[in-house]
Amino acid sequence: MKAQKAVLKSIDWKGDKLSLLDQRKIPVAKEFIDCKTLDDVIFCIKSMVVRGAPAIAMTGIFGLVLELKNTKEKLVYEKFLRRTRALLDSRPTAVNLRLAIEDYLKLISEKAYIANPLPELIKLSEKYALSMLEEDLKWNLAIGKNGVDLFSKKQKEISILTHCNTGALATAGHGTAIGIIRSLRDAGYKVTVYADETRPYQQGSRLTAWEMQEEKIPCYIVAEGMSAWLFQNRKIDAVIVGADRIAPNGDTANKIGTYALAIVAKENKIPFYVAATKTSFDFSLKDGSQIPIEMRDEEELTQNSFLKDTSGNSYLPKGILSPIKSHALNPAFDVTPSKYISGIVTELGVIQPVNKREIKRVVG
């Protein structure tokens, strides 16, 4: 019998608690944190135990299941709505969490709440949260397939630069931009990945490089700001990144550093693709200038504070950044104007060219 490859499950629902792979510790340790309450879940989202727009949304909905499960007396709907708003505030840029909460509240509406006893609401909520995991994996596989079609069948070797982490850690599995990389490998291409470091949280050099190592996909970590050199000195076939929020005109918010990468890619005539599910589109906006950008703690830059546990022990070797008494700016995301984006790969098809009409046609 062929050995089954273990699937990385970073969000694991145990029925009475949610187990989350602690992404702050990867690749040094593979440890899970158990969430038993909505507050535990909010802590894990804020502190980036769990991160990546789809993973945040799915985790958040499991948090609401826990909120219902922990309701001892009668559920007060107004209070429950207040709790959903606290969850929503945990990380403001990715739209996935907001859309998931809105969709979930159609199911657990005030009407449903009046008509159903609490155990029934819990059952409905649990089913909804589990279906999100299933659906996300299905969508990512479809993105992967659509992404493979962007490349010539004749080409045997493909080199891709990616930013941040959009893999199994950030989704229910497979991934979006990294999903395309996995699908290219599965389709028989020899893929080489360049993982942009992604400062300050180092999602590229810690998380993407780790996922590639686990998958045995050849990967080079490249330092932030190295892309211009890379495009001049290596054959890069495409840049593929994820998204946290896409405006109706295609302007895309993603991890800080994406915009600079897109400009350099265009200047060097390298195709720049965004890979995302329909749940990354925010049709309530006019354009990318309306996307709220999360400003994070300046200590993430000056002291690597996010890589310390509660006792102050660092997960990384000492000396990577020395503690310094300076202010730092730490916007977590930037917005890439649509003119720099060659195509948006979704589970429903590829949006190319990137404009309002095409976006409406494919995902609207």
Whether residue 244 lies in the annotated active site? yes
Select the residue interacting with ligand MRU from 125, 255, 300, 345 (CB under 6 A). 255
User: Is 199 among the residues that bind ligand MRU (CB under 6 A)?
Assistant: no
User: Is 94 among the residues that bind ligand MRU (CB under 6 A)?
Assistant: yes
User: Is 254 among the residues that bind ligand MRU (CB under 6 A)?
Assistant: yes
Pairing of strands 157-163, 238-241: parallel
Sequence-ordered list of residues with C-beta below 8 angstroms from that of 310, at least 6 positions apart, any chain: none
Cα 18 off chain centre by = 18
> Of 165 and 192, which CB lies nearer to ligand MRU in the complex structure?
165
Selected range binding ligand MRU among 38-46, 100-108, 166-174, 340-348, rule: CB under 6 A: 166-174
> Of 69 and 245, which CB lies nearer to ligand MRU in the complex structure?
245
User: Is 166 among the residues that bind ligand MRU (CB under 6 A)?
Assistant: yes
Residue list 25-84, contact with ligand MRU (CB under 6 A): 51-54
What is the spatial distance between Cα 19 and Cα 6, in angstroms, rounded to a whole number?
A: 17
What is the spatial distance between Cα 73 and Cα 77, in angstroms, rounded to a whole number?
A: 12
Give the chain's length: 364
User: Is 282 among the residues that bind ligand MRU (CB under 6 A)?
Assistant: no
Select the residue interacting with ligand MRU from 176, 202, 279, 336 (CB under 6 A). 176
Residue list 322-351, contact with ligand MRU (CB under 6 A): 332
Of all residues in the shown chain, the one whose CB is closest to ligand MRU is: 242
Site of tokens 């089954």: 4
On the CB side of 343, CA atoms within 13 Å amount to 19
Between helix 177-186 and helix 118-148 the angle, nearest 10°, is 60
Among the listed residues 22, 196, 237, 244, the single catalytic one is: 244
Sequence-ordered list of residues with C-beta below 8 angstroms from that of 216, at least 6 positions apart, any chain: none
What is the spatial distance between Cα 218 and Cα 245, in angstroms, rounded to a whole number?
A: 29
What are the catalytic residues? 244
Residues in touch with ligand MRU (CB under 6 A)? 51-54, 94, 164, 166, 170-171, 176, 203, 242-244, 254-255, 332
